[in-house]
Amino acid sequence: MTDSLRGHLLIAAPVLHDYFRRTVVLVIEHTPDGAMGVVLNRESETLVAEAVPQLAELAPEEELVRIGGPVAPQSVVALGEFADVAEAGTHVVDSLGTLDPDAENASLRRIRVFAGYTGWARGQLDAELEQEAWMVTPAQADDAFADGDIWSHALRRKGGSYRLLSTMPADPSLN
């Protein structure tokens, strides 16, 4: 098994033409038993207040739910930035962790809500990495709250030849 990728971004390689085309996944957990994360760059049209009323007061008024992945789309994964990361359910990276909606969350600075998640069975993510389906780079807490073309931004930040790849248009036939 690859060392744990918790707190890393998986940037979809251009060879992926399925659900994960041009996605960026934040890995929340990666153990010998499997991995899970959330897609950062898929926005729904549903407001957090409509989908998850109990989190409405924690999110900005017009905040949209993100589509975290194809697994369990009715489930909710909430990521928060904390002044005291010890309040997080699972620490992911820097000041970022999962939110425990039943906790006080006194040091919560901001929140992002995801419907569903991405998941990999034992060895599945490692196999996909060997097939070069994903490019890996360390995550930063701000990544969970980014908007816009996160895929290109993550590749530019990775640097080197990835910077050139970041300029690839979403539809290469329009090039």
The rounded radius of gyration (Å) of the Cα atoms in the chain is: 16
Residue 122 is classified by DSSP as T
Nearest to residue 111, comparing CAs of 138, 87, 139? 87
3-state secondary structure at position 155: helix
Higher pLDDT, 33 or 16: 33
Kind and range of the H or E run holding 158: helix 150-158
Q: Please, what are the domains in the chain?
A: 8-167 (3.40.1740.10)
Tokens coding 167? 């300029």
Structure-derived torsion over alpha carbons of residues 14, 18, 21, 27, reported in degrees to the nearest 10: -100
Residue 162's pLDDT band (boundaries 50, 70, 90)? confident
β-pairing, 8-12 vs 134-138, is antiparallel
* Per-residue model confidence as pLDDT tens digits over 35-82: 999 999 999 999 999 999 999 999 999 999 999 999 999 999 999 999
Q: Quick check: 96 and 83 in contact, CB under 8 A? A: no
Q: Is 102's pLDDT higher than 90?
A: no
* Per-residue model confidence as pLDDT tens digits over 119-136: 999 999 999 999 999 999
**3-state secondary structure labels for all residues of 17-74:** CCCCCCCEEEEEEEECCEEEEEECCCEEEEEHHHHCHHHHHHCCCCCEEEECCCEEEE
